[in-house]
Structure 1
Amino acid sequence: MSQSKDIHLYTASTMNGWKPVVFLEEAGIEYDVTHIDFSQKEQKSEDYLKLNPNGRIPTIVDRSNNDFVVFESGAILWYLAEKYDRFLPQSAEGRSETLQWLMFQMAGVGPMMGQAMYFQRIAAKNGNEDPFAIKRYVDESRRLLEVLNTRLTARTYLVDEQYTIADMATYTWARAYYWAKVSVAGLPHLQKWFERIDARPATQRALEIPEPYWAFFEKRRC
């Protein structure tokens, strides 16, 4: 019988679902993973709602900390970064900057791009096309990507030269610009940032767990 790992991750192949996978793969942390099947509404099951009352993914259980449960992807990244002392600057200023950009993703990039995806990929295909909503969310997503492009001027990563949880959280969403049908033309610093993270084997490996969905990123599995 195999020994349980400290971290048990419940997730699915979505932009939010990949965030903790990226951290764990980059940090080289062994973990157990349970794939939550949306088609079976497993995220709404009685057992899962005991872990995550919001019925969303991802969620972790830290077996090494009295089965402490953390839900919400940004909170999970912060918890893991503090627990393992990885991908988080040591200085108070650096940690604050990381938190600011993490919140920028959570409050802006994710919701806006998610709505752009929803209204174009789901609502429109089900006969509920709303040009006003599509334009609103595509335009706002583009504006947020422009903010990122400006931030990345003369910077390797969002918090200077260090790859942090802010990059991890933002990459899984921003890199899916194709799926949101948002142009990145004229955003060279953002595109270079994509290229740098595209070249990280651990991050790319994470995007295949629990299963790959490369269509989000307009590329084929290598």
Structure 2
Amino acid sequence: MGRYARDGTRTMIDLHYWPTPNGHKVTLFLEEAGLPYTIRPVNIGKGEQFEPGFLKIAPNNRMPAIVDHDPVGGGGPITLFESGAILLYLAEKTGRFIPQDPRGRAETLQWLFWQMGGLGPMLGQNHHFSQYAPEKIPYAIKRYVDETSRLYGVLDRRLADRAFVAGAAYGIADMASYPWIVPWEKQGQRLDDFPHLKRWFEAIAERPATKAAYARAAEVNPDHGKSMSEDAKKVLFGQTAQSTAR
């Protein structure tokens, strides 16, 4: 049987997804590129990331992950986890959203890795200690709110003399960073304090593909943006090697 998207077009990509900042990165790319894809929801609050079928694709029990049924060069499907690796793979597959010259490519990759190694993990800790931790620890909250501010400052200075993170063109470095800035209020930040970042953020928010990507989030999880249940917190924040083994 063929694989078809909601609009009836034949799909090449299965996206294992839940609407989180890392999940949004991939829908941003797929919507911008116009690649047919099918979302396979992975409800991380219910522990679906530990199902054996998903672990074959994403052994780190984290989404997003993709299965490309039509890889360049043919052969069997390619499976991939880690959002940064997925963005790079899709950019190389399509020849889009990453410069083809060595200097431009290097600029993009260093900022993609900056997001993966710094912006995402640090802002994730901000979310955890500010919103989800059962005990409010002032030192931890201040530590990560301050680090969030520092990273916003890095991005603001970077954007002072260019339209997008890697230069004049929108690309995967922007797609990687944008979803982590969306909850800026919950992170204890003010966009007005970072005017270049604010200009960039608002420009991306108005892109039709961005609006389409975030509309998919509401389709997949109508409760997206609401408070997390205590049961979901236990699933997400109580993981050890033993508890996640299947």
TM-score if structure 2 supplies the norm length?
0.83
Shift of 1:75: 0.2
Shift of 1:9: 0.5
Aligned counterpart, 2:144: 137
Aligned counterpart, 1:94: 104
Q: Equivalences for 1:45-194 in 2 at 5 Å? A: 45-65=51-71, 66-123=76-133, 126=134, 128-194=135-201
Shift of 1:207: 1.4
Shift of 1:32: 1.1
Q: Alignment RMSD, CA only? A: 1.6
Distance 2:86 2:53 in 1: 20
Distance 2:184 2:178 in 1: 10
Distance 1:175 1:92 in 2: 31
Distance 1:39 1:164 in 2: 31
Distance 2:111 2:190 in 1: 21
Aligned counterpart, 1:219: none
- 1:179–1:215 contact (8 Å) kept in structure 2: no
SS of the residue corresponding to residue 165 of structure 2 reads: coil
5+ residue gaps in structure 1? 217-222
Distance 1:118 1:190 in 2: 23
Structure of higher CA gyration radius: 2
- 1:142–1:183 contact (8 Å) kept in structure 2: no
Distance 1:118 1:108 in 2: 15
Aligned counterpart, 1:3: 3
- 1:61–1:68 contact (8 Å) kept in structure 2: yes
Aligned counterpart, 1:220: none
Could you tell me the percent identity over the aligned residues? Answer: 45
Shift of 1:214: 5.7
Q: Which digits, 9 at most, give the CA deviation of each residue in 1:129-164, with x for residues without a partner? A: 110010000000100000000000121101111000
1:19 to 14, 25, 29: 25
Shift of 1:3: 3.3
Aligned counterpart, 1:37: 43
Are residue 211 (structure 1) and residue 221 (structure 2) matched?
Answer: no
Number of aligned residue pairs: give it: 213
- 1:17–1:58 contact (8 Å) kept in structure 2: yes
Shift of 1:210: 3.7
Q: Which digits, 9 at most, give the CA deviation of each residue in 1:163-188, with x for residues without a partner? A: 00000000010232122222333211
TM-score if structure 1 supplies the norm length?
0.91
Q: Which amino acid aligns with 1:197?
A: I
Shift of 1:2: 5.1
